[in-house]
Chains A and B, each alone.
Chain A
């Protein structure tokens, strides 16, 4: 039987000692899980070693930890696989990140994860009295929310989130994915209120840095970041919510500039983003002027370093075939519904058969 070394980060607040590393040698077959190894070490070597776990089948979401720096379920990670990525021959196991540690590998999910989930009102708010029998919904309209329903609240995405690392107030990937589960539900009557709330919050949907860390670690393919992008799409395209965080302005400025020029003009992107997508509003809106003023030193540095010439800053050329780009915009944007291919439903190697496309959102 192969011999594995676990290097576990230990911490017991009641001991008065700081956190420390401890190694455990465990003999188990390679197909067994890291959780099996931790429980074996607990059984045979140190009964005080603490981890939260239950189903051991990647369903309950209890045993989230960091293995070799990656947020994962311990029960869902094979020893052979973990040993391959290990450091100096040891499988490194730490508690999840972005949450306070209660003891050893147990983090305080209540203090961070559950508090944030509660923040997004994670229940259905239908209009009026419930129907006499069940709610009837068109199956197609549920395609997009299916993915966010798969969440098992393990906290792996919260642990890996790079925005949370610098802004603990960020609502975070798990809670925002949950928010989309209700925003995308046709039975919910408060879609716009929910979006307005999440768009205006400085730590809401526009505080996500689009780093894919949550997508990478989610054991259930919820792709929380994709759900956050769906929330942004709904907020801007369907409800035209002009938020104080420039989320609307940034998206509008960017897409408009590509429609006009084909490539990006960074010099125009900034002022337009602050002006809800408009250069004129950027010059008359007090908040926009303030933000542009704060950018002034950066602009000067760009110019004096020779990085940016006044010519590139002021003149941006259209692509030779810009009329083709405009035509594509026109063809796509004149449609009543947005066409989206949902790979969660199709599967990435969905082959050549027809896949699941959904028509997301309503034009208002």
Chain B
């Protein structure tokens, strides 16, 4: 499957292990990724807060670039925040023809145009895995079922709310996909209070205490529920849950040490990829416990 691929800013910045893991996983799933290297930041909610017309024009530009990729089935992103910010703009662009025409005028000098089309889509890797590739196909390709690995899902707000904007009318299970993918990888999903809550990243510079209390509480809940690690389709959540985890610990007054995996890393492990190729050594919270479990599986097999 050929895809217009929007990796987002953070996977090429502070979470390079995510970008690498996706690149390693794609061929294993038969995905041909055409990276949109001319496309711009989605605005992450901040440009929307600043100026709606600006963020709509910027994301319409990304969609238009994606629509020009010859033979692509659609556009894929690997960031919950990109998904939500882009879906918000697409909702406005698709709702009103006059508004769409106006926004397209900003793209015209570059020879671009966003076309509203029923068949065109922009999906996070999580949605793509379940809806376009299919869990059965994923199961077939799993060469190293992650038996006994207990994984807590962490979605990221932007990919689960608001449901009406995010296509839940058509795909009502989108808030259960992570559990389904964890299962398809042979691992065991762990239920805990924070799985669909906010990681706190958007306010890390605005209210550090609110932000780190959120991150700390969710990781503590996952720990109490017996998770070996959590997995997220959002690199911004990863920044607050992994990079900031040592800073979050004092706010919950305990040691956490909860490894936080990117979704392609978890899938990559099940597909038999090497932990180094997946960048598991490039985390702030050590992933040794996860690596040991996976190594033990290999030894048993």
Residues on A lying within 8 angstroms of B by beta carbon are 162-163, 165-167, 170, 202-203, 206-213, 215-216, 229, 232-233, 236-237, 245-247, 249-251, 254-255, 258, 262-267, 269-270, 273-274, 294, 297-298, 301-302, 305-309, 312, 319-321, 324-325, 327-329, 331-333, 338-341, 343, 346-350, 352-355, 357
Contact = CB atoms under 8 A, between A and B. Distances in A.
> Which secondary structure dominates chain B's binding surface?
helix
Contacts of B16: 307, 309, 312
9 A-B pairs with least C-beta separation: A212-B161, A211-B198, A264-B9, A166-B213, A355-B96, A206-B206, A352-B97, A211-B157, A254-B46
Contacts of A202: 207
Given A246-B206, A341-B52, A301 B246 contact: yes
A354 B98 contact: yes
B47 A216 contact: no
Contact of B95 (A255, A270, A355): A355
A85 B290 CA distance: 33
B91 A343 contact: yes
A166 B205 contact: no
B93 to A, nearest CB: 9
Interface of B: 9-10, 12-17, 37-38, 40-41, 43-54, 56-58, 61, 84, 91-92, 95-99, 102, 106, 109-110, 157-158, 161-165, 197-198, 200, 202-203, 205-211, 213-214, 217, 243-244, 246-247, 281-284
Contacts of A203: 207
Contact of A348 (B43, B95, B203, B205): B95
Contacts of B96: 341, 346, 350, 352, 354-355
A357 B281 CA distance: 50
B213 A167 contact: yes
B53 A332 contact: yes
Given A167-B207, A262-B40, A319-B40, 6 more contacts: A206-B203, A312-B13, A328-B57, A331-B57, A338-B53, A355-B98
B119 to A, nearest CB: 18
> Which secondary structure dominates chain A's binding surface?
helix
B198 A209 contact: yes
A258 B14 contact: no
A261 to B, nearest CB: 8
Nearest to B242: A307
A77 B19 CA distance: 43
A357 B99 contact: yes
A325 to B, nearest CB: 6
B207 A206 contact: yes
B41 A262 contact: yes
Given A302-B284, A319-B40, A350-B95, A255 B50 contact: yes
Contacts of B48: 229
A150 B32 CA distance: 48
Contacts of B56: 341
B109 A327 contact: yes
B58 A215 contact: no
B13 A297 contact: no
7 contacts: A210-B202, A255-B51, A263-B9, A297-B247, A319-B38, A320-B38, A353-B97
B95 A215 contact: no
Contacts of A340: 52-53
B49 A233 contact: yes
A211 B49 contact: no
A255 B47 contact: yes
Given A210-B202, A247-B206, A321 B38 contact: yes
Nearest to B281: A306
B101 to A, nearest CB: 10
Given A255-B46, A258-B47, A348 B164 contact: yes
Nearest to B40: A262
B200 to A, nearest CB: 6
Given A254-B47, A266-B13, A163 B210 contact: yes
Contacts of A355: 95-96, 98-99
B54, B56, B109 interface centre (most CB from chain A within 10 Å) = B54
B213 A258 contact: no
Contacts of B102: 339
A233 B51 CA distance: 8
A258 B61 CA distance: 14
Contacts of A215: 161-162
A211 B162 CA distance: 9
B211 A209 contact: yes
A273 to B, nearest CB: 5
